[in-house]
Structure 1
Amino acid sequence: MSKTFVTKAKQMLHGGDYNPDQWLDYPEILADDIKLMKLSHTNTFSVGIFAWSTLEPEEGVYHFEWLDKIIDDIHGIGGNVILATPSGARPAWMSQKYPEVLRVNASRVKQLHGARHNHCFTSPVYREKTQQMNRLLAERYGNHPALIMWHISNEYGGACHCDLCQDAFRTWLKEKYNHNLKALNDAWWGPFWSHTFTDWSQIESPSPIGESKVHGHNLDWRRFVTDQTIDFYKNEIVPIRELTPDIPITTNFMGDTPDLIPFQGLDYSKFAKHIDVISWDAYPAWHNDWETTADLAMKVAFIDDLYRSLKGQPFLLMESTPSLVNWHKVNKAKRPGMHLLSSMQMVAHGSDSILYFQWRKSRGSSEKFHGAVVDHDNSSENRVFKDVAEVGRTLEKLSEVAGTNRSAEVAFLYDWDNHWALQDAQGFSNETKRYAQTMHQHYRAFWENDIPVDVITKEHDFSSYKLLVVPMLYLASEDLISRFKDFVKNGGTLVMTYISGLVNESDLTYLGGWPHELQEIFGMKPLETDTLYPADRNRVSYNGKSYELKDYATTLDVAEAKVEATYEEDYYANTPAVTSHTYGAGKTYYIGGRLEDDFQRDFYEGVMKELEIHPVADVKHERGVSVQVRQAPECDYIFVMNFTEDEQHVHFESQVTDVITGETLHGDVTFEKYEVRVVEKSK
């Protein structure tokens, strides 16, 4: 994390999105806000996120006085400000005067002014206007003692298909393919459906009224959208970097709901390189009716581990809700105890903040019933406000945790290119490919066993890990495969599954079948993948037990590999389903079918035992309790969290101190429903 950030805010940040621009006609409300901030034990507020029409109500006419007062008032109570740039939603006068800033959709229809995030990232006018506004903000507030961070725009996403973006896409393609149109046609398999281009001007972005089935084309468009969004962001921050070089910069990443998988609109592995601190907006559907609380907690943990691993440092929870949202299919309130528990889980996996959307509920429009710290009753006595204050008091006792990290011997490789390409693939089953969800199925075994995991991307160095897990890596370049080979040869253990290594970085299949280097390190090759109907089932025998298989089963041609498990039914009964192979100083495993959770548990527990991978805390418990650790130089901070609806008995093998209550704990301790404790153990 940024050195400046740590020295200016050596504490856990607590607060959230504050929109005083909605309340300028209500000075009594603004005065109450300051009083309530102190009562709620909050200390940090993101301001100005959607304030452009208030900051600049007419072109060239600026009103900063209200923002001056807000920032001064927050500073007056010892609070911090994360100052946002307002480009997420522009004023109506700009859309009217400069229609080029309006986004064009994939059907080539120009959008009307309204909503948010509907601007063209290529528009020179919009780039000029955002940079102009950001320069004024940096000049005015860059030296304010309350400012600890810049929040650039808000939840970047979406694509524009206007003429400006078409030209930018063609320029991007020319640079990627070195102005060689044949190279592009080769990568996109141009002769298919007579889609060979003879001039760059013939290329358009994918569209439902044009072409959308050329997979290399689709993949390059998604890559372009990421790069163009980053380029827009880089234009936004020019004056901020120039005028406030010591103030760290973030922009809020997202997670797709309800399955809670990484946001698919942009490749965050690329975006992460250009920001100082990762932050993300998390809105899990707690208490839903399709999964257990522990299952949902596991999914939250996976994204936390991904966003922490992108930069190998603590992240920030930029948005969350203290109770409910207004946009889930069912907007259910958090039950007593869940707000503290879910907040502590974020901290346990690496967050240095609990920030909310929103500080105060809006009076009108679509977010007036979205959860907030301050409800329409303006009271500090309701349940949600008291829950927030409890989190605030807890975070105040965890100030020494801020800036600490966690180490891992296990890594999962997650790849946005792979996700896009696999979703595009017209094969297998559209309903059951579920790449990120498959990652969850394998990750669960480590989460349940309290094994720290880094969720890394293909740009990361693999060498520090004992175990690398790469489920459903459909798209794998020759370079990545070569790096896998080096990882295993040098002593690493690699686990791969069905539907892996089938296409290269252009989404072209490998001629001759499975790549030779993969065959070499796995000692076998997959032959064909059987896609099963939802009602179909098979079984696999492994270590004397039988496990259910569904969705996918790959038949294997074994050369030198050891057969670890076999299929029980169908035409491939008694043939290999899971193999292992020693290669160099390392080892590989290939799992040919989608197997039930108990298989993952048993299989990975065996791998962990073989590799001597152990929990970092000596705390014993039943399934549904999670134990996570953040490591400081002189002690470990151990978070013990009961994600069940039942009383749980937890056993502390060694003596620890409860950071919140000061109690000494040793031996058996009873945890109530949703209870969480943070304990400290000296090294």
Structure 2
Amino acid sequence: MDWPKGVDGLSYGGDYNPEQWPEEVWDDDVMLMREAGVNLVNVGVFAWSRLEPREGEYDFGWLDRVMDKLHAGGIGVGLATPTASPPPWFGIAYPDALNTRPDGVRQVHGSRDTYDVCAPAYREASRRIAGALAERYAGHPALAMWHVHNEYGSATYSPHAERAFRTWLQEKYGSLDALNEAWWGSFWSQHYGEWEQVLAPRATQYLPNPAHELDYKRFTSDAMLEHYREQREILREANPEVPITTNFVFGQWVPVDPWKWAGEVDLVAFDSYPSAPDERAEQQSALHADLSRSWAGGGDWLLMEQAAATVHSKDGAIAKAPGRMARHSMIHISRGSKGAMFFQWRAGRGGAEQWHSALVPHAGKHTRMFREVVEFGGALPGIAHAAGSPVEAEVAILWSPESWWATAGAHLPGPVDYLENVAQIHRVLRDRGVVVDFAAPEGDLSKYSTVIAPTTYMLSGAAAENLRWFTAGGGRLVASYLTGAVDEHCQVWLDGYLGGLTDLFGIRVTEHLPQPGGELRALWNFGAAERFCELVELRGAQCVTQYATGDVIENQPAVTVNPFGEGEAWYVSCKLVDEAWDRLFEELQLAGPGCAGVDVVDRGEWRFIVNHTEREAQVGQVVVPAGAWTVDKRP
């Protein structure tokens, strides 16, 4: 299926909210979109209260006029189902369909995402509005794709969710005996005698059961996916030629498994909002792009949202320097995005996101920002041909949503930041010019020469055998500390952890040794480790480097390598600092044409180069000015 339908080349545009503006602004919007080269906008994402002002009563007249104007201007529409933000009347009519916090408090209307995905009234209302939109607009010539919901991720802990959770558990485990065994129910008297005793993992006295929490995240992901599927089927039946998607969002608070969801959408779409105020924003953008492409199976995907003029730092918004908007967009396009979309088109005058940057700022078209928007939009048609070939990668990093979820608790043997461990390896490889894919632990690894498993805490039996097969077939596996510590039920792998793969790695991990913050443990000729170390016993592996300092770990193996079949398995028993990872990757001869601050991505006969530095960069025979980007024939 071609997507977006009827949109040629790279997609450029963003969320458009005409319902927030008087109608006389709409013609100006279309004119400015044409000037900027915009060819796709998302409409109706948060418009439920305008589309259905009272239950069962629809007002489509304004949307008819918007769709017609956009079509006349040559602009395609990603028409959204507005189910991420129910209208005020819904919460008044169905208060039990609003989401419930872990502490049992039911929330009220007044923000976005106030819904209980498991409430029958919400599911019915969602199907009804999706059906009404499908009936009216499935054949509209402006319709380029359907945009279901927005940023799925709002969990609920309501009685509705608990009932659905118990049904999900019965289907998964079959019996209470199996559930009690999987959850290690005899600990702290958590052995269940009736299904009705099983609740959502609400706020409790002390540490919750990690297996209980993990299964609830899995259930929530599946419940939200069912909500998406219900709308998708309604839209598909109305016009099977129009592609359907939803936009993934990134965060610890999002219980969504993108590996499972990716097969349910016609295109993977992602919202990228880096949170670092410095050059790490570029690193995070590259990470988001490589993840999205990998979820899409190595094919095209779409950057659905980003901020035009600011970085959403944890310390507040940080203004992007001139040219940074284009460079961030090119990070994504070079890594497989079929365009660059933004939130939002026109900056709003009011509301909670009135200061969110936009393609058209509050000051209007006569601004630096809009001039950059026009300039970048004018450049995109000239590079669309170069974005047709796949991104080339021989190295993969394992991405395990369940390991991320499972390491979020306070019950672990030491401080663990799963995302930072993944991001660190991605960051060091990017600085060495290496473009990577991501892969699921149970996924197909056959195309890669090297697979890296950063703190893949949860390793199922199937995933362990997949890694064994990959290495035996000639692959090089690199795993870091706490990999394979527990199985899919959060139960510890015995006799040396490692997912039962002590023979693969040729070692036994016998003890976890968390370290004080701020203290480094030197490694012989290899830099240093911080925060977490493990005591390792050799069982056939060769020691690559040892700990130079420490009590019980001094002179003990820190990094090991073991031949296995036609390949080899490396194990890093500690959290390395960046310089130590760089030293290891030098040992493994992992390097590419790029370098720190200069992204180089090869796609077929074309090479994308993005120079984020303040100095001129030369890549081969190509010279790229400071802060610029280019697409050239590959040498």
Same fold (TM over 0.5): yes
Alpha-carbon deviations, 1:649-682, whole Å to 9, x = none?
3142xxxxxxxxxxxxxx362522x221121338
**What is the alpha-carbon distance in structure 2 between the residues aligned to residue 400 and residue 57 of structure 1?**
45
Report the 3-state secondary structure (helix = DSSP H, G, I; strand = E; otherwise coil) of the residue aligned with 2:193.
coil
CA separation of 1:148/1:403 partners in 2, compared to 1, >3 Å: closer, same or farther?
farther
1:324 deviates by 2.2
Q: CA deviation at 1:158?
A: 1.6
For the pair 1:417 / 2:402, whether they are aligned, the reply is: yes
**Alpha-carbon spacing, 1:403–1:138, altered in 2? closer, same or farther (3 Å):** farther
Q: Percent identity, aligned pairs only?
A: 33
Matching of residue 675 in structure 1 with residue 633 in structure 2 = no
- Please state if 1:91 is matched with 2:79: no
Q: CA deviation at 1:4?
A: 2.6
Deviations 1:224-247 (A, max 9, x none): 111111111111222101112121
- Structure-2 separation of matches of 1:651 and 1:353: 25
Report the Cα distance in structure 1 between the residues aligned to 2:4 and 2:347, rounded to whole angstroms.
Answer: 31
Segment of structure 1 superposing worse, 263-272 or 561-570: 263-272
The letter of the residue matching 2:618 is: V
> Which residue does 1:384 correspond to in 2?
369
Deviation at 1:209, TM superposition (A): 4.0
Contact 1:131 1:237 (C-alpha < 8 Å) held by counterparts: no
Compute the TM-score of the two structures, normalised by the length of structure 2. 0.96
Deviates more, 1:196-205 or 1:327-336: 327-336
Corresponding residue to 1:641 among 610, 625, 629: 610
Question: Contact 1:650/1:668 (CA < 8 Å) preserved in 2?
Answer: yes
Residues in 2 aligned to 1:61 and 1:195: alpha-carbon distance in whole angstroms: 49
Asked whether the 8 Å contact 2:495–2:508 carries over to 1, the reply is: no
Take 1:440 and 1:80, find their aligned partners in 2: how far apart are those partners?
A: 35
2:347 is equivalent to residue 361 of structure 1: yes
**2:528 corresponds to 1:555:** no
SS at 1:10 equivalent: coil
- SS of match in other structure, 1:155: coil
Aligned partners of 2:244 and 2:176: how far apart in 1? Answer: 38
Structure 1 residue 266 and structure 2 residue 256: aligned?
yes
**Cα separation, partners in 2 of 1:515 and 1:330, compared to 1, 3 Å:** closer
Does the 8 Å contact 2:624/2:630 carry over to 1?
A: no
Could you tell me how far 1:403 is from its partner in structure 2? 4.3
CA RMSD of aligned residues (A): 1.9
Name the CA distance, whole Å, in 1 between partners of 2:136 and 2:106.
36
1:476 CA displacement = 0.7
Q: Which residue of 2 aligns with 1:259?
A: none
Contact 1:524 1:558 in 2 (8 A): yes
Pick one of 309, 315, 325 that aligns with 2:301. 315
* Match in the other structure for 1:658: none
What are structure 1's unaligned runs of at least 5 residues?
257-261, 653-666
SS at match of 1:650: strand
User: 1:237 aligned to 232, 240, 258, which one?
Assistant: 232
Change (3 A) 1:670 1:315: closer
Residue in structure 1 matched with residue 74 of structure 2 by the alignment: 78
My pick for the range that moved more, 325-334 or 96-105, is 325-334
Partner amino acid, structure 2, of 1:323: A
> Which AA in structure 2 matches 1:249?
I
Q: Which residue of 2 aligns with 1:16?
A: 14
- How many aligned positions are there? 633
Which among 384, 400, 412 is matched to residue 399 of structure 1?
A: 384
| Farther-moved stretch of structure 1 (477-486 vs 4-13) | 4-13
Contact (CA 8 Å) 2:11, 2:340: kept in 1 or not? yes
Alignment check: 8 A CA contact 1:326 1:370 kept: no
User: Relative to structure 1, is the Cα distance of residues 314 and 411 closer, same or farther in structure 2, using a 3 angstrom cutoff?
Assistant: same
Q: Which residue in the other structure is 1:598 paired with?
A: 579
SS in 2 for 1:579: strand
Hey, what's the Cα distance between the residues in 1 that align with 2:499 and 2:330? 46
Task: Confirm whether residue 607 of structure 1 aligns to residue 588 of structure 2.
Answer: yes
Compare 354-363 and 211-220 and name the one that shifted more: 211-220
Tell me the alpha carbon deviations over residues 564-591 of structure 1, each in whole angstroms, 9 at most, x when there is no partner: 1111012322221111111111111001
Q: One-letter code of the match for 2:145?
A: M
Partners of 1:8 and 1:306 lie apart in 2 by 27
Deviations 1:465-501 (A, max 9, x none): 1111001111111221111111111111110111111
Contact residue 152 and residue 254 of structure 2 kept, 8 A: no
Aligned to 2:419: 436
**Structure 1 residues 82-91 or 545-554, which shifts more?**
545-554
Displacement of 1:138 in angstroms is 1.3
Letter in 2 for 1:267: D
Alignment match, 1:275: 265
CA contact (8 A) 1:10 1:399 kept: no
User: 1:114 aligns to what SS in structure 2?
Assistant: coil
Per the alignment, in what secondary structure is the counterpart of residue 569 of structure 2? strand
Which amino acid is the alignment partner of residue 599 of structure 2?
Answer: S
- SS of 1:233's equivalent in the other structure is helix
5+ residue gaps, structure 2: none
Paired with 1:428 and 1:211, the residues of 2 have a C-alpha distance of 17
Q: In structure 2, what is the equivalent of residue 253 of structure 1?
A: 248
| 2:472 alignment partner AA | K
- Distance (Å, rounded) in 2 between the aligned partners of 1:219 and 1:455: 22
Aligned pairs for 1:101-120 (under 5 A) are: 101-120=97-116
Contact 2:391/2:601 (8 A) holds in 1: no
Alignment partners' CA distance in 2, 1:97 and 1:268: 33
Distance 1:497 1:76 in 2: 56
C-alpha separation in 2, matches of 1:211 and 1:181: 24
Partner Cα distance (1:6, 1:133) in 2 = 22
Q: CA deviation at 1:302?
A: 1.5
Match of 2:603 among 618, 622, 630: 630
C-alpha contact 1:11 1:402 (8 A) present in aligned 2: no
Code of the residue aligned with 1:32 in structure 2: it is: D
Aligned AA (1:639): F
Q: Check the 8 A contact 2:562/2:570 in 1, yes or no.
A: yes
Could you tell me how far 1:99 is from its partner in structure 2?
2.1
Indicate which of 196, 209, 227 corresponds to 2:222.
Answer: 227
1:92 offset after TM fit, Å?
A: 1.2
Alpha-carbon offset, residue 10 of structure 1: 3.0
Q: Name the SS of the counterpart of 1:122 in structure 2.
A: coil
223-232 or 322-331, which deviates more:
322-331
Deviations 1:332-354 (A, max 9, x none): 22111111111111101111121
| 1:347 aligned residue | 333
Q: Give the structure 1 partner of residue 522 of structure 2.
A: 539
Give yes or no for the alignment of 1:198 onto 2:198. no
Tell me the distance in 1 between the aligned counterparts of 2:603 and 2:458.
34
